[in-house]
């Protein structure tokens, strides 16, 4: 059996770094298994350390995923066709890896399945990078949101000569009345305050907030004379 090559891969999360991946072939009815070098690496081995078999392959499937993988493989071996499985494996060092396995059944002239060929792509690093980036973006967004709300609150405090809590409540109330996010209400005020020609519009926006009796606390309306 010819030595299999590992596939070329690309992940937008990893950039120039390739995803770990390998190819495999299983011959029937002998059930002989051939792995590329990448398949050994995905499972935590170097070529020559183990002899790949179906038993070894399934032993590395995560216990919760193993029955599904075995069921899909059995169906493809029986009926033919393509398969794709996103699942977990546990490599030789005990590390959980998230992999995508896909391939197809090879038939002979009589339609019998004689082999399964496919590729296993290790997505562990990609998922980790994307999770880290998502968490980082969320922190940046939260920090940015807090900053713009603090700026808007400061604008109201300065224009109305009210405390921090009262200014914040005005923003919250306007957000509720207009059914828009608090950050958007704050951003609008900050944008108007930063515009050279935004003084009149800013004044109108602030007065609009105070014009709603149910929204502006009575004490605040008394303090501002509205």
Confidence of residue 103 (pLDDT cuts 50, 70, 90): very high
Name the residue among 68, 83, 88, 91 with its Cα closest to residue 117. 83
What is the structure's pLDDT at 215? 45
| Distant-in-sequence, close-in-space partners of 197: CB < 8 Å, separation ≥ 6 | none
Concatenated DSSP letters of 71-91: HHHHHHHHH--EEEEEEEEE-
What is the structure's pLDDT at 177? 86
Mean pLDDT computed over every residue of the chain: 85
In this prediction, residues 27-34 reach a mean pLDDT of: 92
Q: Are 22 and 40 in contact (CB under 8 A)?
A: yes
Structure tokens of 136? 């980082």
Least confident segment among 13-22, 28-37, 66-75: 13-22
pLDDT digits (tens, 9 = 90+) for 186-215: 888 888 888 888 788 888 888 888 876 544
Least confident segment among 50-64, 76-90, 121-135: 121-135
pLDDT digits (tens, 9 = 90+) for 154-192: 888 888 888 888 888 888 888 888 888 888 888 888 888
On the question of pLDDT at 141 being above 80, the answer is no
Q: Are 126 and 134 in contact (CB under 8 A)?
A: no
What is the structure's pLDDT at 224? 47
Residues in the chain: 226
């Amino acid at each position: 059996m010819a030595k299999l090559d590992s596939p070329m891969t690309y992940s937008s999360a990893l950039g120039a770094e390739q995803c770990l991946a390998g190819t495999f072939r299983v011959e029937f009815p002998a059930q002989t298994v051939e792995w590329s070098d990448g398949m050994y690496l995905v499972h935590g081995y170097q070529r020559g350390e183990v002899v790949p078999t179906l038993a070894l392959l399934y032993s590395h499937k995560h216990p919760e995923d193993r029955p599904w993988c075995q069921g899909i493989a059995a169906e493809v071996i029986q009926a033919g066709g393509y398969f794709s499985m996103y699942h977990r494996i546990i490599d030789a060092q005990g590390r959980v890896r998230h992999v995508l396995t896909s391939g197809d059944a090879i038939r002979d002239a009589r339609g019998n399945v004689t082999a399964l060929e496919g590729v296993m792509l290790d997505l562990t690093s990609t998922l980790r990078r994307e999770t880290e980036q998502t968490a980082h973006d969320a922190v940046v967004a939260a920090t940015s949101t807090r900053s713009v709300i603090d700026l808007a609150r400061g604008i109201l405090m300065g224009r109305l000569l009210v405390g921090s809590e009262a200014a914040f409540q005005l923003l919250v109330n306007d957000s509720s009345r207009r059914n828009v996010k608090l950050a958007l209400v704050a951003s609008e005020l900050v944008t108007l305050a930063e515009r050279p020609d935004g003084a009149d519009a800013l004044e109108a926006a602030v007065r609009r907030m105070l014009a709603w009796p149910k929204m502006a606390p009575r004490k605040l309306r008394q303090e501002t004379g509205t």
